[in-house]
């Protein structure tokens, strides 16, 4: 089922609270996107979900199981993958080593046939990674590194994938490729996807539901078709 339920209160840094309160849920085969302008609290919200910023209260549940006490790396062991902003990878390691490391960190005894299936899956989604599998990750373009970051998350076969602004800094063509791949992941894997994004058009091309933040507070949420033409979406981005 992969139903992921989150409730947060008092998320922020030191004495500064960025997100006073937030609750959401996303199920397998579904994409929920957090929208909002810079400074709206999207990144803080996602980091609070995985436990890398402080919260006053934090509830994280997967199919009803309480995972709230777990750290980010412990959540990864429960197949909850976090892809932070900035297309992060091990720059001085080859593409193939980045992928292998992600797999072996959580599945050190994986059988050869299973290993091949996982590599085939990511190389089918992003053929450029197969072409450049022996290239140092740091020598690739930002878009290719973003594809690698997503692929590293896929190597653990996530039940939940959390992505922070996957389109940031990418050329339009690469944004299209990344979101096309995310749409395929959504359709084929049963993974629940929670994503923060500023590119409204790209996000809405694959999202089922969205939540719009303004100054850390929820100003609108609902099915994507209901939100698409809501005046408050324009207000959130333009302040008009």
31, β-bridge pairs: 193
Q: How far apart are CA 78 and CA 86, in angstroms?
A: 24
Cβ atoms of 155 and 122 closer than 8 Å: yes
Query: What pTM was computed for the model?
Result: 0.92
Read out DSSP for 87-143? ----TTSBHHHHHHHHHHHH-TT--HHHHHHHHHHHHHH-HHHHHTTTSBGGGS-HH
> Could you report the per-residue pLDDT of 169-194, keeping only the tens digit for each?
888 888 999 999 999 998 887 899 99
Least confident of 71-80, 168-177, 224-233: 224-233
Is pLDDT above 80 for 92? yes
Poorest-pLDDT segment among 27-41, 98-112, 220-234: 220-234
Dist CA 133 CA 136 (whole Å): 8
Average pLDDT over the chain, rounded to whole?
91
Going across the sheet that includes 65-66, the strands are 16-26, 4-13, 57-62, 65-66
Residue 171 lies in a domain: yes
CB-based contact 165:42 (threshold 8 Å)? yes
Nearest to residue 75, comparing CAs of 156, 10, 1, 20? 156
The answer to whether residue 185 sits within a structural domain is yes
For position 237, what pLDDT does the model report? 62
**pLDDT score recorded for residue 227:** 82
Concatenate the DSSP letters of all residues of 154-170 into one string.
Answer: HTT--SEEEEE-TTTT-
Q: What is the pLDDT of residue 239?
A: 53
Asked whether residue 116 is assigned to any structural domain, the reply reads: no
| Percent composition of the chain: helix, strand, coil (DSSP 3-state, to 5) | 40, 25, 30
Q: Which residue has the tokens 């989150």?
A: 6
**Does residue 86 surpass a pLDDT of 60?**
yes
Examine residue 94 and state whether it is found in any structural domain, yes or no: no
Amino acid 39: pLDDT = 86
> Is a pLDDT exceeding 80 seen at residue 87?
no
Position 235 scores a pLDDT of 67
Q: What pLDDT does residue 236 have?
A: 64
d(CA 187, CA 181): 10
Q: What is the mean pLDDT of residues 134-144?
A: 93
Number of domains in the chain: 1
Does residue 20 have a pLDDT over 90? yes
Residue percentage of the chain with pLDDT more than 90: 69
Separation of alpha carbons 111 and 62, rounded Å:
27
Region 73-78 average pLDDT: 93
> Backbone phi, then psi, for 69, in 5-degree steps?
-75, -10
Q: Is residue 122 part of a domain?
A: no
Would you say residue 96 lies in a domain? no
CATH number of the domain within which 33 lies? 3.40.50.300
What mean pLDDT comes out for the span 212-220? 89
Domain interval for residue 27: 4-89+158-238
Q: Is the pLDDT of residue 155 over 60?
A: yes
pLDDT number for residue 229: 77
Lookup: tokens for 190 = 């049963």
* Mean pLDDT value of segment 133-141: 94
CB 58 within 8 A of CB 137: no
- Residue 103 in domain: no
Retrieve residue 226's tokens: 């209901």
Among the listed residues 201, 189, 118, the one whose alpha carbon sits nearest the alpha carbon of residue 159:
189
| pLDDT above 50 for 240 | no
């Amino acid at each position: 089922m992969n139903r992921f339920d989150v409730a947060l209160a008092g998320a922020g840094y030191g004495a500064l609270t960025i997100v006073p309160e937030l609750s959401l849920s996303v199920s397998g085969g579904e994409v929920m996107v957090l929208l909002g302008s810079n400074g709206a609290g999207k990144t803080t919200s996602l980091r609070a979900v995985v436990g890398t910023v402080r919260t006053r209260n934090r509830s994280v549940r997967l199919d009803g199981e309480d995972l709230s006490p777990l750290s980010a790396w412990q959540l990864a062991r429960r197949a909850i993958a976090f892809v932070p902003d900035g297309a992060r990878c091990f720059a001085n390691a080859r593409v193939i080593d980045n992928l292998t490391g992600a797999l072996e960190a959580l599945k050190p005894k994986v059988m050869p046939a299973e290993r091949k299936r996982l590599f085939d899956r990511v190389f089918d989604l992003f053929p450029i990674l197969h072409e450049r599998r022996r290239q140092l990750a740091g020598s690739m373009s930002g878009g290719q590194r973003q594809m690698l970051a997503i692929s590293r998350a896929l190597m653990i076969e996530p039940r939940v994938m959390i992505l922070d602004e996957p389109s940031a800094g990418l050329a339009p063509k690469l944004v299209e490729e990344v979101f096309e791949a995310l749409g395929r992941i959504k359709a084929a894997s049963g993974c629940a996807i929670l994503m923060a994004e500023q590119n409204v058009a790209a996000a809405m091309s694959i999202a089922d539901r969205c939540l719009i933040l303004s100054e850390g507070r929820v100003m609108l949420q609902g099915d994507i078709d209901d939100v698409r033409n809501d005046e408050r979406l324009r207000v959130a981005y333009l302040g008009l």
